[in-house]
């Protein structure tokens, strides 16, 4: 399989996994109107991209992370996906794992995910992403 195609599949799979985790968390937290709105599939998918894409960028390169650390719209998310696909193997310096976790926690906190849950989600994402990129010999 082509490296770009494989990288794209990692991105897509991680975004789906993050969206699934977030959707379950929003539903678990309660059924207020705000929580129901947050459980909207398209919005949850975008939030998944907001947390997954910066982590992948940070694992690959601090320069890439600085460019795409804040995903504010769907077009910006697509730019990040394309940049990741073109990037190739990790190029030091990369972003420290704790920085990626803390920044991800901030994104999730802005969506009313409690700190403990946000940290667990961020740590799980980082472990899984690093593992998948290493298997591809990218990280």
CA atoms 16, 59, 57, 88: torsion sign: negative
Task: Say if residue 133 is exposed, middle or buried (CB neighbours under 10 Å; 0-12, 13-18, 19+).
Answer: buried
Biggest CA pair distance of the chain: 45
Helices (runs of H) and strands (runs of E) counted in the chain: 7, 0
Rounded Cα distance between 44 and 33, Å, is 15
Q: Which pLDDT band, with edges at 50, 70 and 90, does 33 fall under?
A: very low
Q: What pTM value is reported for the model?
A: 0.88
Say if residue 30's pLDDT is above 70. Answer: no
The Cα-based distances of 119 to 36, 50, 105, 114 in angstroms read 22, 15, 6, 9
Res 69: pLDDT? 95
pLDDT, greater one: 97 or 40: 97
For 59-79, the pLDDT digits (tens) are 999 999 999 999 999 999 999
The reported pLDDT for the residue numbered 25 is 81
Phi, then psi, of 11 in degrees rounded to 5: -60, -50
Percentage of the chain exceeding pLDDT 70: 86
Instruction: Evaluate if residue 122 carries a pLDDT over 90.
Output: yes
In this predicted structure, which of 10-19, 20-29, 115-124 has the lowest mean pLDDT? 20-29
For the cut 80, the answer to whether the pLDDT of residue 35 exceeds it is no
């Amino acid at each position: 399989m082509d490296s770009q195609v494989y990288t794209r599949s990692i991105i897509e799979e991680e975004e789906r996994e993050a969206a699934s985790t977030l959707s379950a968390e929003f539903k678990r937290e309660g059924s207020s109107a705000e929580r129901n709105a947050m459980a909207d599939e398209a919005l949850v998918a975008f939030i998944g991209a907001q947390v997954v894409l910066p982590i992948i960028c940070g694992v690959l390169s601090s320069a890439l992370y600085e460019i795409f650390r804040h995903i504010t719209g769907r077009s910006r998310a697509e730019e990040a996906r394309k940049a990741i696909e073109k990037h190739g193997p990790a190029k030091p310096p990369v972003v420290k794992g704790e920085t990626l976790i803390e920044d991800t926690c901030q994104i999730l906190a802005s969506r009313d995910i409690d700190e403990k849950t946000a940290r667990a989600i961020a740590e799980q994402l980082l472990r899984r992403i690093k593992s998948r990129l290493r298997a591809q010999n990218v990280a």
